[in-house]
């Protein structure tokens, strides 16, 4: 299959001091690449199963597809959601909807940070546009694909697997999440939200 590891939109050290260059390099070049490779392998195995009419391992390969495919998609959004000299308060459509759906940016930030810190084991926290509810929601994601809220499109993602922050922050996940707010690319979040709502 032909899924490829996307290039980072910035240099490894561009997110310093909040996100260290070595973690960014390992996270992108090794961890994210592993999900791309796993996705390509799962898609290949499912194609082979269809061609042979042999679905004895369908449960395994469907799980691999969900795990690695979701890992690839979420990592891609994660990298795009950050930029050097990012952060601050949102503007535009996302700012308006955060105020409408959460009461204020401060209330949203507290809910999101608390949810991210409380993800059990490995996973993510995401701000999603739910097309069914026609509103923004904060969701926790275990692994890459569990606890999904159907009809939701992620627009802002933070990775809280330990590999995302352990070199600099050790087991201090909350410190990582608090610093991550200084990197958010709100322009990218607005672009993703606009596409999700169209």
- For the packed helices 186-197 and 92-102, what is the interaxial angle rounded to 10 degrees? 80
Distance CA 85, CA 60 (A): 42
Please indicate if the annotation marks 68 as binding a ligand.
Answer: no
Nearest to 115 by CA among 148, 138, 92: 138
Please indicate if the annotation marks 144 as binding a ligand.
Answer: no
Beta strands in the chain (DSSP E): 123-130, 135-142, 152-159
Distance CA 138, CA 57 (A): 35
Distance CA 109, CA 22 (A): 27
Nearest to 151 by CA among 97, 96, 98, 196: 196
Both tokens assigned to 150: 């159907």
Distance CA 175, CA 5 (A): 28
Which residues are annotated binding-site positions?
Answer: 27, 75, 159, 163
Which residues are annotated binding-site positions for Mn(2+)?
Answer: 27, 75, 159, 163
């Amino acid at each position: 299959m032909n899924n490829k590891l996307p290039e980072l939109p910035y240099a490894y050290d561009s997110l310093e001091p909040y996100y260290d260059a070595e973690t960014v390099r390992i996270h992108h070049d090794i961890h994210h690449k592993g999900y791309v490779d796993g996705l390509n392998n799962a898609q290949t195995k499912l194609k082979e199963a269809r061609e042979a009419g042999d679905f004895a391992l369908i449960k395994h390969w469907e799980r691999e597809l969900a795990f690695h495919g979701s890992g690839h998609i979420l990592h891609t959004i994660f990298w795009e959601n950050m930029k050097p000299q990012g952060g601050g308060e949102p503007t535009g459509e996302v700012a308006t909807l955060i105020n409408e759906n959460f009461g204020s940016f401060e209330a949203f930030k507290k809910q999101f940070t608390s949810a991210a810190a409380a993800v059990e084991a490995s996973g993510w926290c995401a701000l999603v546009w739910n097309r069914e509810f026609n509103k923004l929601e904060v969701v926790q994601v275990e692994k890459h694909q569990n606890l999904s809220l159907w009809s939701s499109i992620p627009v802002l993602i933070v990775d809280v697997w330990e590999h995302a922050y352990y070199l600099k922050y050790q087991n201090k996940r909350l410190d990582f999440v608090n610093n991550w707010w200084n990197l958010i690319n709100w322009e990218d979040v607005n672009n993703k939200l606009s596409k999700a709502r169209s």
